[in-house]
Amino acid sequence: MDTHTTAPAAPTSTMTPDTLRDFYRRYVELANSRDFDRMDEFAHDEVLMNGTPVSREDMVAEFRRHTEAVPDLSWEIQELLVDGNRVAARLVDTGTPVAPWNGLAPTGATVTFAETAFYEVVDGRFKHMWYLMDAAAVQAQLAG
């Protein structure tokens, strides 16, 4: 007779809600300061982004693609919620495209749009990331 019992699994993150909020704020600061070489502090070697496996290097390349097309792109946190090891953020993004971006030609107009993002933190770094930006607002603003 097997009397061995299995202990409950340890939590995947020991970060408190306040620690997670600070972690996310530092991540947004990293994006706004273009300090992408520090992304290993925030994301695993591979993350699931909108359900697709993506290397951290590919994630950084995507950030660089956005900020090369929109050099003054900035992210501003409007609302930040933490539940266990999950983070939800509502952001307002602003910038002036100077090169084609997301299939849209630059017009000299500055765009401001909403972004909603959700994250799951595992072992102190992002493992799952989902985001959605208001592309229709960007199109309308660039159309004049």
pLDDT in tens, 99-121: 999 888 999 999 999 999 999 99
At 58-94, the pLDDT tens digits run: 999 999 999 999 999 999 999 999 999 999 999 999 9
- What is the predicted pLDDT for the residue at 142? 87
User: What's the whole-model pTM score?
Assistant: 0.87
- Extended strands (E) in 32-124: 43-49, 52-55, 74-83, 86-95, 111-122
Q: Following CA atoms 34, 38, 128, 85 in sequence, which dihedral angle do they give, to the nearest 10 degrees?
A: -110
- Please, how many CA atoms are within 13 Å of residue 64, restricted to the half-sphere of its CB? 10
pLDDT bucket at 7, cuts 50 / 70 / 90: very low
**Of 120, 124, 56, the residue nearest 89 (C-alpha):** 120
**Of 134, 135, 73, 133, the residue nearest 104 (C-alpha):** 135
CA dihedral sign, ordered 13, 14, 17, 23: negative
Instruction: State both tokens at 33.
Output: 């300061």
Spatial contact of 108 and 101, defined as CB atoms under 8 Å apart: no
**Of 4, 53, 64, the residue nearest 31 (C-alpha):** 64
Spatial contact of 43 and 24, defined as CB atoms under 8 Å apart: no
pLDDT at 57 over 80: yes
Give residues with Cβ within 8 angstroms of 42, minimum separation 6.
23, 26, 27, 30, 125, 126
- What is the predicted pLDDT for the residue at 1? 44
